Chains A and B, each alone.
Chain A
């Protein structure tokens, strides 16, 4: 530590992005302080850094009682489709809430962590622009990111298949295998994957950040089934506990929970960050000084913080180009039980809709689009019994409905995380009236999908329904999140609600070479403030059709390696990997 700073690096946010950054800089011999406004239920912050026992298989605590935060009464967010349709806001409450807790959204994600493909970093060059969207190439290529993808997969511990008949034929090249083989296939996924194959698709075991065998001192997943939305009681999920634990064990990382960062402090020139200011749990204001400041608050909170302190925004793009994944949910009802409550919630994916075929292109052209791309399709189970029960009507039919369990034990779900095009009009900004428990303006999402997403979803849904039927479903229904068209009463009652339910939030501080058209550079440093960095999915230029977490962690690792002067050597494809 340099005597004139509290730490060499201060990191705001302990989710996958911040945790990865801390792991890399501490391994390089630097020290860091991580501040997070959430509580710590993950890991003892004193040696020997034992993992805590607060997570449990408890639907009430995790789904209805905001155990991992943020509680919408304390930290409301708002949503509107546009100012014209909804005025200042349509809805106040939970908008794309990710946990606010030590570990961030990594704690309760069920951790499907596919990589992006080569083309995803070069969409504008490869497929071209689309009217109304701000599609650009990334300033980083897949090849430059590959070593960091590999490192993050190794650190987190990803179970997957890289080679052979079960591998994903669309996957980008890899420099090595996955650290672990995949865990067991859920019964429903066995059926839906076989059906997908019969219809010419290419399902594969989802690369998952849950141990299929003991790894890095943590046990193998035992398939308890309380996975997505839950902390893992046995800590079989690696992201981000692995990184935080490694960082703490170096003795060079301090984690301060329940510290709410209000400002990035800058010197009089306004071009250098000197640290951050934060409120402690008792409301006392403190300042931490550091040589480098890293924002990893997630792509909703990072722009909110920057807009509050008016920094980093000479391009006017902070908060703009907000992207989610446009979710297409096709459900199928089966005449027999699928016991989807056993296993990791999702065990298979297929990528076919990310690579448009002639039929997709024809559908795109009919809608006046040059092309469209869907996203990964997750083959997964339905929610728990409390949510199921609330879906049925009260009265004498309740019991029969619950015992038959058409909407849980006999239900199978395809969720497509469709690529969402960046649009300058989709934004995070500050709500003019709603405030959080600290009296600071709530973040507001203004978002409406581009035709691209809606057209792709409607077209691909037909295939998803056909696969569901082929798998043995007696009926299928497709919905989207956000809902399209006029809002109906049903939309308002739908558990997914009127605001986008996606927990994949991206694009609000996009990266690029040109300070006029981007917020951070190719090394994730702010153009306006060179010693301020961003280590979350705010930096994404396009959304691709893949879960963002592995890619944001790989970018965070790359930024930290470049910052500390420890870049990883370039990699090349292993002979057996698909290219």
Chain B
């Protein structure tokens, strides 16, 4: 079950991101759908359905390279941080505290209106038509791509990069604490290709 999107929106975001970062059997690229990029976006837009909100993962280690796993211990926001992040996600909604420098359109609203423009049938039309519709809403496409990149190569705790598949494809280790790299690994020549 998605957190903030309805099923159709979730599938639309997944399909749209897949056009931006497609799966490719030949190279082994997982693509946005397999990396669950839509889940990343959904968790960002629905961050405040959790307590603490899923804005800042904890530290110091993920547990993947030793040490206790701490990333799931989401860090509490102070009231000011909550104001900033609610403004960013929900928009300023006429609240004077959020509108000191003018109204802010939130991510949720930008997605809502952008997805309407893509159409409820986006998932079922062919790739060429999907690309055409995406190109017609340049602002949404740019935002989707930003989020797709974050969901593809950000830490899995934020909802995307499922199982680290985004990192594996690009030969990036992700977080490395507390193992780190040995002096030899730092100094020596890297892998071939």
Contacts and interface: CB of A to CB of B under 8 A. Distances in A.
Chain A: interface residue count, which band? 35 or more
A363 interface: no
Nearest to A186: B186
Interface in B161-180: 166-167, 169-180
A337 B172 CA distance: 12
B172 A341 contact: yes
B115 to A, nearest CB: 17
Interface stretch (A389-397, A420-428, A475-483): A389-397
Interface string A328-340: 0000000011110
B191 A337 contact: yes
Contact of B58 (A56, A394, A396): A56
B150 to A, nearest CB: 6
Q: Which of B58, B88, B101 has the most CB of A within 10 A?
A: B101
A398 B20 contact: yes
Contacts, number: 188
A437 B188 contact: no
Given A57-B174, A58-B59, A233-B61, A386 B150 contact: yes
A187 B187 contact: yes
Interface string A91-116: 01000000000000000000000000
B154 A336 contact: no
Contacts of A281: 78-80
Interface string B12-44: 000000011110100101000000000000000
Contacts of A384: 153
A60 B172 contact: no
28 contacts: A39-B78, A39-B81, A53-B70, A54-B58, A55-B60, A58-B57, A58-B155, A60-B57, A71-B84, A187-B187, A222-B181, A223-B183, A224-B175, A224-B180, A225-B176, A233-B177, A234-B177, A385-B170, A390-B146, A394-B21, A394-B148, A395-B22, A396-B24, A398-B20, A398-B21, A399-B27, A402-B169, A437-B83
Q: Which of A39, A73, A437 has the most CB of B within 10 A?
A: A73
B125 to A, nearest CB: 17
Interface string A182-218: 0111110010000000000000000000000000000
B88 A73 contact: yes
A222 B179 contact: yes
Contact of B180 (A59, A222, A258, A399): A222
B121 to A, nearest CB: 22
B43 to A, nearest CB: 11
Interface in B111-144: 141
A76 interface: yes
Interface stretch (A61-69, A125-133, A290-298, A367-375): A61-69
Question: Chain B interface mostly helix, strand, loop or mixed?
Answer: loop
Question: Chain A interface mostly helix, strand, loop or mixed?
Answer: loop
Interface in A228-263: 233-234, 258
B5 interface: no
Nearest to A344: B186
A396 B25 CA distance: 12
Q: Which of B88, B150, B173, B190 has the most CB of A within 10 A?
A: B190
Contacts of B19: 394-395
A390 B146 CA distance: 6
B58 A222 contact: no
Interface string A397-419: 01110110100010000000000
Contacts of B71: 56, 58
A459 interface: no
A342 interface: yes
